[in-house]
Amino acid sequence: MSHYRRDMSQTPLPPPLGQVVNGHQWNGSQWVPITAPALGQISNGHQWNGTQWVPLPPPPAIGQVSNGHRWDGARWVPVQAAPPPPPAPGGHPVLTELHRFADAWHLTWSQKKDKVQLERIVAERKVMLGTARLTYRATVTIDDARREVAFSELLAEKGSGMSSGGDDGDGSLGMGFGVQTTSYNTRRNTIADTIEEQARQYSSQYALDFPYARVREVVGQIAAAAGYRYRYGR
């Protein structure tokens, strides 16, 4: 019996399943040659770098854009530049953008043929029997034949309340208990030639902070983008 145990202790144990030695792997019954994976081969979320399997980072989200390419779920494909949207059917390049600007700035819009008028109340004050309001008004005239956009602006004061006078025909109040309407217009030779000078005429009665210069600047940009010459003032 002791002789039998001594013989068993001298018998080598088989290698663990999957052990690799000298380019061979033990499959449980014999050593079989191992074929090295191709460089860059991917398997089970790992990639062979030539010496070992390394974990791959998580894949990008479908639709992700990087370096001018978009991930479609399997590969990066070049992103084609989107063509500019076609103009709206029948849309005028200046009027369309001008309308968007008016909406964004809460300017009321009125149009008669090629002339657009934009208005907004910029200040108000209490008077004897009512309220006086100062309105900013911009007039944009589009000349398609000359490809020109003309711009002018004014400040107009109007009052509401009791008045012994009637409407003078242009929507203003007459003299009396109401407020007399006055305006300074860059379209004609009046007391002030620029909107800034006009504002100074009212500065003693109103607190003004409306960005007049930005309005004419944006209109000029709209005209230039459409290929129209821009003319300001008289």
- How many CB atoms neighbour CB 62 within 10 A? 10
Question: What gap in Å lies between CA 69 and CA 75, rounded to an integer?
Answer: 9
- Tens digit of each residue's pLDDT (9 = 90 or more) over 183-225: 444 444 444 568 888 888 888 888 888 888 899 999 999 999 9
More confident residue, 7 or 184: 7
Q: How confident is the model at residue 107 (pLDDT cuts 50, 70, 90)?
A: very high
More confident residue, 189 or 136: 136
- Amino acid letter at 212? Y
- Tens digit of each residue's pLDDT (9 = 90 or more) over 29-85: 888 777 777 777 777 777 778 777 788 777 777 767 777 777 776 777 787 655 545
- Return the structure tokens found at 222: 């709209």
Taking the domains of the chain in order of start, what are their residue ranges? 93-232
More confident residue, 93 or 81: 93
- Amino acid letter at 27? N
- Tally helices (H) and strands (E) across the chain: 4, 15
Question: What gap in Å lies between CA 209 and CA 197, rounded to an integer?
Answer: 14
Average pLDDT in the 169-181 region? 38
149: nearest Cα among 98, 204, 105, 200? 98
HSE of 183, CA atoms in CB hemisphere, 13 A? 20
Task: Give just the sign of the alpha carbon dihedral 212, 187, 99, 159.
Answer: positive
Residue 17: what pLDDT?
78
